[in-house]
Amino acid sequence: MRKFSDILQQCAFAMKFTPSLSILNDEHENKKIIKRLPEWLIVRWARFVTAWRDEHHSFPPFVQLASLVAREARIACDPNVSLQALSKEKGQRSAQPQQSSPKPRVSGTFATRSAPDAAPPNKNSVCILCSKTDNTLSECPSFVKKNLTNTGGTLS
């Protein structure tokens, strides 16, 4: 996120010297940038935009977005208060020997839908797109190269 913040800051600075970059102030162009942010930051930006519109009756300039992302990146990367730093400290404390019985390990993946007796995918199955037996559709090089609008017809 810090790298993305740096890019936005550089664009904001370059806007002073390159008039064509003023397109970044447009709310439609702004949406393209917003899509690359984490969901929690999109919500924070939406709150900022609402407050700005209430006060100024217009969409906030790009410089405001760059500033917000920079501030949030600093917070997220702060070694003293970031969620990652705090979770590491909690992990270090829990790594110390405890007298209670150890808890069973939990897998790091989550199933969205699963049948109780679902069989694992068969590695010998044939790809429905390229008809090869050594890959599935999600691993198919032909499928991966297609853009999103072109893949819909393949799945029908």
**DSSP string for 20-63:** GGGGGGSHHHHHHHHTTS-HHHHHHHHHHHHHHHHHHSSPPPHH
Q: Write the single-letter amino acid at 82.
A: S
Q: Sorting pLDDT into bands at 50, 70 and 90, what band is 145?
A: confident
* Spatial distance between the Cα atoms of 45 and 52, rounded to a whole number of angstroms: 10
* Spatial distance between the Cα atoms of 35 and 47, rounded to a whole number of angstroms: 16
- The model's pLDDT over 58-88, given as tens digits with 9 standing for 90+, comes to 999 999 999 999 999 988 888 777 666 566 6
Against a cut of 0.75, is the pTM above it? no
**C-beta atoms surrounding 5 within 10 Å:** 20
* Spatial distance between the Cα atoms of 144 and 151, rounded to a whole number of angstroms: 9
Query: What is the DSSP secondary structure assignment for residue 93, as one 8-state letter?
Result: H
More confident call, 10 vs 107: 10
